[in-house]
Structure 1
């Protein structure tokens, strides 16, 4: 302050020093008041704001109960992980409301400059503190809720690594003396409740992941989407577009049709966009034709008129209806998905060609599957010479989308086995599981997301590793209803379910090798070619 008083107000250094002091004075230096919230009110807020999510709500309430009982606000970092549109950000906001706290939200998706987190040096023109200090200055309390979105999408550049900068912020042992580069004085951020969101854990650095408590959010079933549409999305969209309750009417069947045929995804974002589109068109209709009878009932005809033909038609459901095809289940950052694998043989000498942007792990799964079938050819009534006289091309459709992971191992094996034996796998069946070289089926992740994807594609039978029985038992009944699960431990069990008639299949006939020309044939052919050349030259 004394230095500022001695400066000339017209000096550039004066404005820099004044801004610096103003920021310091705006920060909440006082100790915060004790937290005053009840578990009952927190439960009501979570129930009112979100449908379903029983496991997630219970986990959050357990976290809040421990926080209240200990009266300890330090070291609180939560990471909500799930597909897009399942409500991660809104859950974080609900937690802030349950705690009766201010919240500050910012996204780190695409951020590649650590100065965004820790601030710039004051020597730079236009320097400013990082997001953490900015958030504290805006909320004006020392213990707000910070919502950090898209923590799995940070980048790295010559300007530094934001993920490394977050290590100090999210470490309970270090953040009591967090030092922003702009302020260059320690500030205690240990009482801030940090809530991070991500679509996948794969791209989050391990040291950063270790500092967070992970809460998984899964996708929604059709029944859950229907309930969310009725209770939250339809009223919210009608209010947004100025429609009264008596001006438009949706039936349960239409809402389900929108969810299944226009917004078949893990979350409800596209479901909400579809409702917005319908409501905009109804608002236009009512404004242009005030005499229109209300309520405007959304039926199949109006749905097709407003949204066009269904994006996900019934005939687009993937089917393994010919030899060389099999259906697997995949787990991506967008939720679960069904994966059809196609294999085709051509004359060759045992080559294997892979297309569909398969990652290294997936390519290794193909090699393991192919080797296992070759190694067990005789006991499976397969002629070993088939592999010497055929080349195999294996393709996973949607070639523009990169794919990787080991959980398609048994699906690859079934597709190749189907190709070699000429059998079609059992209908409405899908599978997931990693395969070892000795034929053992290993556990997988993301079971709920995969089961939801199977339901969306009318799958009635799913093969899963026996080691995933614990995950299967945790699934709600409405997720498992109508689906038969088979727990498998070996690839032999997988093949028995996929090809029920395989035992009665006759021995494969030995493939005749291609005819080899004898020495006499070669001499005769050479003489005929020479004679033809001489005659051609004679004519010229």
Structure 2
């Protein structure tokens, strides 16, 4: 197989006139030895050197040289070492060997004159040397008017290319001017342009000169367009180089002027420090251009300029951010489980959910960020759970609150044009944590408010959305920063006020409140050691009895969380300190020395002494001990709670229903449905006749009227209250219920059963009526919470009425 040598400007590329003769006049043979070509085809009408180094090709040359000296050059469809006839194109170029030189390395150097196109009619010998019967293809249509016009166009366009491209040598341009045959002009131009070999072969196969010249003209236009773009790029590059050189000389000149004036550059060291740090980040594109501009301004600026400190602060922020940090997932599940057990008592389902989440991340080896929402009442440990997650994952922990926030700049930063502008909390957290993959805790996301200063929830959505946070832009920073590796933990008391788009992007973990036994254990294991250190006591210097712990939980801190419980314990220790300081006021020793070795035992008398009158005494436990009352269970942002519903009937001309107790629209609708069903039931059972409802107004009241109450879970409680009033009978003691009611008497499912059960446990409820559809939720309630409580599933209100009386 042979390849055509690349010609230099100094090599001979002269034009042959042999194509002016017809094949019969040149005595061309009817069969040719075929020489396969790799690379590009050879066109008729030129003298050209040719190197042959393949054994089969040398054999073909020797055979042709012995005979009449004619050989057929045919292009290979694909380069192969041992091509067959099927690998050849059908049209090639016949040539005559003018000179043959054997080289020392065994190769053969030829000088050939290419003559005319030919088409293979039949392969006579497929073995080396390959021989084929051929027919010759002289040019057609050379003398038309269109061909003359195309000839002028080709020469003119090639002259333009020659002026722009030094690779088109002067000798080639002269040869082009000396060619008298239009077909030859097209062939010669094709051989010197950078055209793909398949396209060159198509031109070789085009016998009609006009069509051939039209094809070549298209490639000339393409070459001109490439040269135009190349020239444009070269011009822009030269201008950029000149600009950089000019700026360099101007900077050097400014330094000289400053030195002569004795001003100098007082912040040259800072500039160099910033530049070295920014260069180490290896920025590209927009970030590089922006920071280069800021560095140039900083270098040229006088330190007394008002904007000097603004630019300096901006560059300090850029240099302190972890642009090139590579997040690493370095944790194991066993250690994470130990940390969670050590940091938190109870919360078994919460800890299990967290471990499951971490295990999946470990399996996937996924360093991408995530979004968790920890939802629960105040004081149940949402923040401490978030901190424990950071410890489990060996990641820095950063926390900030958006509660009551109405300005999105808190999250996205302020414009640098403002005096005292700062970045948002997200970028500030990345700066402090020094990693692209910290654990961020965003507190109180359910308490954000939109205003004319923007919507913080919308800004937060941009931060949390994995499709957007890859190129998060802080308003102050003004550059895209990748937040996709940040682990976000959001906290909320309720999910109702959180925008739905935020909920869709988060994994929700709910934390319910604690019962008295759990509070006692938490106080003993976690709260007391913490408060001892806070108030200056030694370890084990203050001890609480079991009765004292229980009393605080029962009468002073009955809320869902343990925050008030901690305050009560702290108050007791503070009073002890004050009491002891007054006792040793005349001592010359310090109070710490006087208290050393003393142990204080806190029992029930001490709790009552230091905390005073009970906040929640037994008289405040809600009891449905008169007709027209019933106890319902509610789920609020503060956790589960018990509601005492009261109803009376009084004579009136209008009849109907009166509601008090700050109820929401949903609860008002439930009350009306409950009354309508109770009226129908009472008339059907003969408890009351229809005239009684026309002559009496029923007044339903839910105490603690200042507290907003709403939600679909009090329907059966209201109906029970009304039937109790109409019958004049009170319901069973220590009984509570939850469930919504339909007009036809169906008991509908509710939410928050766990929280409601915890509230019932705190209020000594022994029996709870629940919708039958909520039976499956009982498995999610810990056994120690359910212990001592009987659950009665009901599907219709008639079952409720039959049971409670």
Shorter-chain TM-score above 0.5:
yes
Corresponding residue of 2:341:
47
> Does residue 1:481 correspond to 2:805, yes or no?
no
Of 605, 610, 617, which aligns to 1:313? Answer: 617
Change (3 A) 1:204 1:169: same
Q: Is residue 471 of structure 1 aligned with residue 772 of structure 2?
A: no
2:796 alignment partner in structure 1: 490
Q: Does 1:132 align with 2:426?
A: yes
Cα deviation for residue 245 of structure 1 reads 4.0
Q: Which residue of 2 aligns with 1:279?
A: 573
Q: CA deviation at 1:26?
A: 1.2
Work out whether 1:423 is the aligned partner of 2:729. Answer: yes
Q: Which runs of 4+ in 1 moved over 4 A?
A: 290-293
For residue 188 of structure 1, report the CA deviation from its aligned partner.
Answer: 0.2
Q: For 1:450 and 1:153, how far apart are their aligned partners in 2?
A: 23
Contact 1:83/1:199 (<8 A) preserved: yes
Q: CA offsets, 1:45-86, max 9 Å, x none?
A: 111100111111111111111112212122411110111101
Kindly state the Cα deviation for residue 326 of structure 1 after the two structures are TM-superposed: 0.8
Other-structure match for 1:391 = 697
Please give the per-residue CA displacement for 1:86-143, whole angstroms capped at 9, x wherever unaligned: 1000000011111111111000000000111111111222211111111111111111
Q: Secondary structure at the match of 2:400?
A: strand
1:334 aligns with 2:628: no
Supply the RMSD in Å over aligned alpha carbons: 1.4
| Counterpart check, 1:184 vs 2:478 | yes
Structure 1 segment 321-400 matched on structure 2, within 5 A:
321-348=625-652, 349-382=654-687, 383-400=689-706
Separation in 2 of the partners of 1:151 and 1:73?
25
What is the aligned counterpart of 1:413 among 701, 704, 719? 719
With structure 2 as the length reference, what TM-score do the two structures score? 0.61
Partner SS state of residue 256, structure 1: helix
Q: Which runs of 5 or more residues in structure 1 are unaligned? A: 500-540
Question: Is 2:513 the partner of 1:219?
Answer: yes
Deviates more, 1:372-381 or 1:324-333: 372-381
Indicate conservation of the 8 Å contact 1:246/1:294, yes or no.
no
Q: How far does residue 21 in structure 1 lie from its aligned partner after superposition?
A: 1.7
Instruction: Please give the alpha-carbon distance, in whole angstroms, between the structure 2 residues aligned to 1:303 and 1:103.
Output: 37
Structure 2 partner of 1:77: 371
8 Å contact 1:328–1:411 — kept in the other structure? yes
The equivalent residue for 1:458 is 764
SS of residue paired to 1:263: coil
Partner Cα separation in structure 1 for residue 765 and residue 392 of structure 2:
40
Could you say which structure has the greater relative contact order, defined with CA pairs below 8 angstroms and 6 or more residues apart?
Answer: 1
1:27-46 equivalence runs, <5 A: 27-46=321-340
Q: Does the 8 A contact of 1:75 with 1:171 survive in 2? A: no
1:343–1:394: 8 Å Cα contact kept in structure 2?
A: yes
Contact 2:369–2:437 (8 Å) recurs in 1: no
1:238-274 Cα offsets, whole Å, 9 max, x none, are 1211222453221111111111111001111111111
| SS, match of residue 487 in structure 1 | strand
Offset at residue 488 of structure 1 (A): 0.6
Secondary structure at the residue paired with 1:376? helix
| Match runs of 1:137-216 below 5 Å | 137-216=431-510
CA distance in 2, matches of 1:161, 1:247: 51
Whether contact under 8 Å (1:354, 1:393) holds in the other structure is yes
CA-to-aligned-CA distance 1:290-314 (integer Å, 9 cap, x gap): 5889422212222111000211111
In structure 2, do the counterparts of structure 1 residues 295 and 18 end up closer, same or farther at CA, with 3 Å as the change threshold? Answer: closer
Partner of 2:84: none
Q: Is the 8 A contact 1:118 1:165 kept in 2?
A: yes
1:33 deviates by 4.2
Offset, 1:286: 2.8
**Secondary structure at 1:444 match in 2:** coil
User: Using the alignment, how far apart are the partners of 1:475 and 1:125 within structure 2?
Assistant: 54
1:74 and 1:172 in contact (8 A); partners too:
no
Q: Which has the larger radius of gyration?
A: 2
Distance 2:369 2:434 in 1: 20
Identify which range, 233-242 or 49-58, moves more after superposition: 233-242
1:302 to 606, 631, 637: 606
C-alpha distance in structure 2 between counterparts of 1:287 and 1:178, whole Å: 56
For 2:542, which of 240, 248, 256 is the aligned residue?
Answer: 248
